[in-house]
Structure 1
Amino acid sequence: MNFTGAFLKASSRSLFSGIFLIFFFLNVSCCAHELSDQQIAAIDAHTLAAPPEVEVDRQLLVAYLTQGLNTDAEKARAIYRWITDRIVYDADAFLSGRVEDMSVEDVMKKRKSVCFGFSSLFEKMAKDANLEVKSISGYAKAYGTSQGQHFDKPNHAWNAIRINENWYLVDSTWGAGYIKDGKFKKELSEAFFLTPPEQFVFSHFPVDEQWQLQRTSHLSQREFESLPQVEPTFFHSNISPIEAWEATRSPEFSGSFVHTFELPYHLVSIQKAPVMYRLKLNRMYTFKINATIFEKMALVQADHWQEMEKDGDFFTFNYNSELQGQMLVVGKKFDSDQYTAILAYELSP
């Protein structure tokens, strides 16, 4: 895991009281597309079983992917899942700066591209399925960028798609995986499929402000650049974007969110936990985490282990410490003797 090292300057913090009000009254829905887990599993299974003979032609492929699907959300899911599985991000081209313009046909043939190829392919396939879709150009806090960094030109592309008369955001590039240590790690992310705009804007900022899709005031580029850095996997554990915005408003906010680890999407679901990385000594913090895969959970600081209480699939604990230093939330799977790191904090006066 890469810990965020840069903190906001004091002058930047003043932005957040206004920014927070933009989002606080939004009705956040992580299931805006109304697809059940069973529907998603069925769509994904059909998508991943696409035979090679239909994958040589885009329109033939789209016809296969959308066979038997009735809603726009279902069709968008099938296209998203195929692209995130079959297309690999060209990390070498990105890191070397030798990015070539690739047509949709080239991306289909080579199965490799950078973000503009991903978004162009998603747009073409969605239009083949008679969906209303746009490719969006803008700025993204991706691999190699830092908190507060100024963007002088667009560095990323993604999509907006219209479903049930509403526009939603999709990033099939980040959905396919991420760069770590100079290499592309292929790993499906659900966090970038029909993402709530108040979550998406932590890492993505469109050139055309209408595609921020907020229902109230929009952010400026400077406000976006001043937002805390988040890892691509930050929202995988169901961390609330509203609570993240609320944390930025706190006078105790140091400029860094709780550190998360590379866990699969929704392996754990954080119902309650501090969102800020730096916590105070001698203060009570409540943790409530849902996780069916873990037999035990504990809070660990130095050599001090405090096991969380378990009630069904929920683990809870009220934590109050006099010890300075790092504190980890860890979990032990039923079939393992090892503990997996879930969250990391720093306690200080």
Structure 2
Amino acid sequence: MPANWEDLLWRPLHTVKATMDYQSDHPMDLCFEAGDIIDVLGIENDNWWNGCIVKGHNVKSKSFGSFPKIFVEIIEEPPQKPSKPKKITNPWFKDDLEKTLEQQSENSISKQKPIINSKPLVNPQPSVDKPPPPLPSREKLMMRQSSTKTIETVVPRNKSPIRQDLLNTNRPAIRRKNSSNSVSSEKSSKASTAFSIESETLVDEFEENPDPISRCLPIVDKDFEDYLDTSEYDFSTVDEYARETPESETKSEARLANYLTSVWDDDIYKLRAIFAWITDNITYDCDSFFSGKLSHKSAKDVLKTRTAVCAGYAELFYGLANEAGLRVWQISGNAKGAGFQAGDTIGPNDRAYAHAWNGALYKGEYLLIDSTWGAGHVNNNKFNKKFQPFYFLTSPTKFIYSHFPEQSSQQYLQPTITRKEFNNQPHYKSDFFNEGLRFLRFYGSVIEAIDDNIILNLEQSIDDGRINKVTAFLEWKGQRIDAFSQRLAIPGPNGGILHRLRIGCPTRGEGKLQLFYSKEGIKECPGICSILVKNSGTGAKYKQFAYQYTIPYSYTIIKPVYQTLGYGKRTHFEVILFNISSNKKIPEFVVYGPGMEMQTSLEIIDRNDSNRCITIARDIMLNFKGSWTLSVKKVQLMHFYKDLGVLHDGNSEDPVDGGLAYLMIVV
């Protein structure tokens, strides 16, 4: 027997280092920050360890407790080395998380060790007379599993969720949408995590510098089965029914709630009907908001006046849902709403960004609803009505980027994030998530230029079959500087579509980078994100990018990218054409010399029929000074305006279809 039994009791099994912050409200958990050194004193189960901090930020507290092992890495190996856990990437990028979880124990949750006399994770205070349901204790927290449900298991083919006996109409039954717009797992499995293009290495740095929200998992209840994906539902029938509600049915909350919800079997359609009616019939009260003369409005008042600020929207949603017996409550906090700019910070008492929304518990999952933002947005002190279904039953892992509740428990995330982490997020808009976009590297709310330049790489998990682009411009000291936008033919680290943006800063200072998403065939270009840009350089290495114009072909210019090129030098021109089928005529790209007197066509150097893309290129000697143009060849090209850089057909003031694609000035 050893001489000192205490040595056995406190001898660590492992010594580990925290790879990211872990914060928790649970009294039995050990909280720490990235870089802390922890002794592992016990193994609770496959996913949780027990230990204490021996060196780091919290060492003075002599903290003991449990923590998830995915937040640390072993720096001193035990006798039998366990497999190193992978870090969990952002839950809203589904492929990443599912691949990680498949490598963990299939039944990790069911094997968790029960905690004796454990208290709930938090005890949220009710914000209205009907409090939100309490959060489950830690042993009931569940991680996202790969779904094995079919569409029919959610909405059976032989049962319409609409109760036809109560709805005297010939409206069609609800159906689920086919979920076929995401990048396939087969493509993902073949993707490389690093590749070289134009002598530049593109590496997925997401795990090296992770978004703090990527470590969070949504909290679920004991009834949870699978995560909700509202994009798989066709709500058109519900929305139409709600928006055509007769005025006679809106005389009271009880009557309106009964009309909107009694015809549906599933709670999701009841919630959607309430959401659709409120967003269509309630107008944001800009006069009260901007005058500062805000007064409390009950649900009855909002129903009568049909105007409200955010608190009124949330009050009415709760009132109608409560009448229908739905599990809904109100939440208050801050949001990056009207007036918020990239780089701004929101304090706990910042009334300018005070906001209210709703929480809901649906099939064991805590979800968020913002009917105010779902109705539209405020711009130039006016309310612009625009239905935004993104804010209906939104996952907490997406909602937290723009909404920060007063009570951390109402983030419905484990672990929760801090206000500092909330403020240090890019200003994402709903379409950033709708289009399945993510940055390959987490930049935070501010991007620092390197040598007066910035290169941003984004991966898109949704492929709708069209050639869509991410575009951007930089607001810089009163001028607008367009980014050079490219879509790459190489798949991203997760098999998605890669977009690249190049941005230059002409001087020292700071500006706002605004990102947009351009869909093929659609004129509207919604904003998706804004980030503050800072440049400590002098602007000496700034180069103006070549002008890009729209043509009716899907293309990306790979080289060259700058507007000013060298005289008497051989220059490589390279273009990728997308969505080219075997029977489709390939447009001819031509480089025109100064005065349009000479022309050289690009040649096919690579063809990828599986990805339906073709690469065309050619090296050209720039042996004349003046304007050189890369264009799609047209039969009738009558005039070229050098100063404007626009091709005309001689009969109209607009550029010809298939006209100028590219312009550079050679000096």
- Does structure 2 retain, via aligned residues, the 8 Å contact 1:72–1:131? yes
Report what 1:195 is aligned to. 394
Instruction: Report the counterpart of residue 262 of structure 2 in structure 1.
Output: 67
Alignment of 1:307-326 (within 5 A): 307=551, 317=556, 319=558, 322-323=561-562
Asked whether 1:204 is paired with 2:443, we answer no
| TM-fit CA distance, 1:191 | 1.4
Residue 131 to residue 219, structure 1, CA distance change in 2 (3 Å): same
Tell me if 1:140 matches 2:335: yes
**2:379 aligned residue:** 180
- 208, 226, 248: which one aligns with 2:442: 248
- Kept in 2: contact 1:228–1:257 (CA 8 A): no
Deviation at 1:160, TM superposition (A): 0.7
The 8 Å contact of residues 237 and 269 in structure 1, kept in 2 or not, is answered as no
Q: Counterpart in 2 of 1:85?
A: 280
Amino acid at match of 1:221: R
1:230, 1:217 → 2: CA distance?
A: 21
Quickly say closer, same or farther: Cα 1:22–1:101, change in 2 above 3 A: closer
- 1:283, 1:320 within 8 Å by CA — same for their partners in 2? no
Q: How far off is 1:57 after superposition?
A: 1.2
* Change beyond 3 A, Cα 1:254–1:122: farther
Q: Give the conservation status (yes or no) of the 8 Å contact 1:282–1:321.
A: no
CA contact (8 A) 1:197 1:212 kept: yes
Which residue does 1:304 correspond to in 2? 548
The reply to whether residue 156 of structure 1 matches residue 352 of structure 2 is no
CA separation of 1:144/1:282 partners in 2, compared to 1, >3 Å: closer, same or farther? closer
C-alpha distance in 2 between matches for 1:100 and 1:159: 19
CA contact (8 A) 1:175 1:191 kept: yes
How far is 1:70 from its partner?
A: 0.9
Contact 1:91 1:182 in 2 (8 A): yes
Does the CA-based 8 Å contact 1:270-1:290 persist in structure 2? Answer: no
Q: 2-side partners of 1:175 and 1:78: how far apart?
A: 13
| 1:223 aligned to which of 421, 424, 430 | 421
Q: 1:253: Cα distance to partner?
A: 4.3
Between 70-79 and 248-257, report the one with greater CA deviation: 248-257
Which whole-Å CA distance do the structure 1 matches of 2:241 and 2:233 have between them?
Answer: 16
Q: Which has the higher helix share?
A: 1
Determine the structure 1 residue equivalent to 2:241.
Answer: 46
SS at match of 1:68: coil
Contact 1:135–1:160 under 8 Å retained in 2: yes
Which TM-score applies when normalising by structure 2?
0.38
SS of the residue corresponding to residue 295 of structure 2 reads coil
Cα distance change, pair 163–178 in 1 and its aligned pair in 2 (3 A):
same
In the alignment, the residues of structure 2 paired with residue 308 and residue 239 of structure 1 have an alpha-carbon distance, to the nearest angstrom, of 25
Q: How many residues align?
A: 287
* Unaligned ranges ≥5, structure 2: 1-206, 219-225, 457-461, 475-481, 489-497, 501-516, 526-544, 564-653, 656-667
1:48 and 1:20, CA in 2 relative to 1: closer, same or farther beyond 3 A? same
Q: 1:281 to 1:238 in 2, by over 3 A?
A: closer
Q: 2:214 aligns with which of 7, 12, 23?
A: 23
- Cα deviations by residue, 1:189-217 (Å, 9 ceiling, x for unpaired): 11111112222111100111122122x32
Distance 1:152 1:75 in 2: 34
| Alpha carbons of structure 1 residues 51 and 252: separation in structure 2 relative to 1, 3 Å | closer
Instruction: Tell me, yes or no, if the aligned pair for 2:267 and 2:326 is still in contact at 8 Å.
Output: yes
Q: Hey, what does 1:99 align to over in structure 2?
A: 294
Q: State the 1:25 CA deviation.
A: 8.0
Larger RCO of the pair (alpha carbons < 8 Å, separation 6+): 1
Shift, 1:150, TM fit: 3.0
The whole-number CA distance in structure 2 between the counterparts of 1:269 and 1:236 is: 18
1:108-129 CA-to-partner distances (Å, cap 9, x unmatched) read: 0000000001001111111111
> In the TM superposition, what are the counterparts of 1:255-294 in structure 2 within 5 Å?
285=488, 286-287=498-499, 293-294=521-522
Tell me by how many angstroms 1:248 deviates. 2.1
Match of 1:334 in 2: none
In the aligned structure 2, how far is the partner of 1:199 from the partner of 1:273?
22
Aligned position for 1:235: 432
Distance 1:152 1:104, change over 3 A: same
What is the distance in 1 between the residues matched to 2:471 and 2:210? Answer: 17
Q: CA deviation at 1:107?
A: 0.5
Partner Cα distance (2:216, 2:434) in 1? 22
The letter for the 1-side match of 2:346 is H
Structure 1 residues 157 and 319: CA distance shift in structure 2, 3 A: farther
Moved more, 194-203 or 71-80: 194-203
CA shift digits 1:285-307 (9 cap, x unpaired): 44599968559x9xxx7643364
Closer, same or farther: CA 24–239 of 1 in aligned 2, 3 Å = farther
Is the Cα–Cα contact under 8 Å of residues 282 and 322 in structure 1 kept in the other structure?
no
Which residue in 1 is equivalent to 2:233?
36
Q: Is the 2:284–2:383 contact (alpha carbons within 8 Å) kept by the matching residues of 1?
A: yes
Unpaired runs of 5+ residues, structure 1, are 1-15, 259-265, 311-315, 325-336, 339-349
**Which amino acid is 1:227 matched to?**
Q
1:72 positional shift: 1.1
Moved more, 283-292 or 201-210: 283-292
CA contact (8 A) 1:177 1:187 kept: yes
Contact 1:138–1:205, Cα closer than 8 Å, also in 2: yes
Aligned pairs for 1:318-337 within 5 A: 319=558, 322-323=561-562
Superposed CA RMSD: 4.2
Of all paired residues, the percent bearing the same amino acid is 27
1:171 to 370, 387, 393: 370
